[in-house]
Amino acid sequence: MALDVAESETIARVREIATRLKPLEGPLLPILHEVQETFGHVPASALPAIADVLNLTAAEVHGTMSFYPDFRTAPAGRTVVKICRAEACKAMGGDALAAEVQERMGLGWHETSADERATLEPVYCLGLCACAPAAMVGDTLIGRADAAAVLRAAGEDTA
C-alpha cells in the first residue's frame, strides 16, 4: 500500500527524531516524548519507524508506549482536563468531582469533545494530596478543586 505524502513526511520526521536521540542511554522514552510533543500524539506509523532505528520490534515499542498513560495514540483536545483518581483525592470527594465534571462536559475518561476543545483524563496523583481533591487543566494545578473551578479553568460553561 502506498503511503500518502503526509504520512511519508510524518515517518521521515519520526526517523529523524529517533536517529538524533538514539545515542542517549535508554533512548526510547525520550523519542516517544519528542514524537508526541511534535505531533500531539504518537501516530501508529511512528512505531515501526522507531523500532527500525532502535533495532527493536514494533511490539516492544508499542508495549513501552502503552505502559505509560501519558502517551496518546490520537490527538488530544486543545485543553486537557485531568482529575486525580488517587486515594487521598478520592477520600476528599474526588469521585463526586469526577462524576460532576464528566456529566457537565459530556465526556467519559479519555474522550475528546466533538469540537476537539477538551479531553478528559484520569491521573493518579498530581502531588497535591494535602489540597485534595486535585485537578489539572492544561498546565494549571487546582487544589481543593470543585467542578465549577475546573470547568472555569477549562473555559467550559459553568451554568
Could you tell me which residues are annotated as the binding site for [2Fe-2S] cluster? 84, 89, 125, 129
**Binding site members:** 84, 89, 125, 129
Cα end-to-end span (Å), the chain: 50
C-alpha torsion angle, residues 44, 50, 56, 62 (rounded to 10): -30
In terms of phi and psi (left: phi > 0; alpha: psi -120 to 50; beta: otherwise), the region of 112 is: beta
Distance between CA atoms of residues 51 and 156, nearest Å: 40
Q: How far is CA 21 from CA 10, 55, 61, in A?
A: 17, 14, 15
| Sign of CA pseudo-dihedral 65, 76, 6, 2 | positive
Helices (H), the chain: 5-21, 28-39, 46-54, 58-67, 87-91, 94-105, 147-153
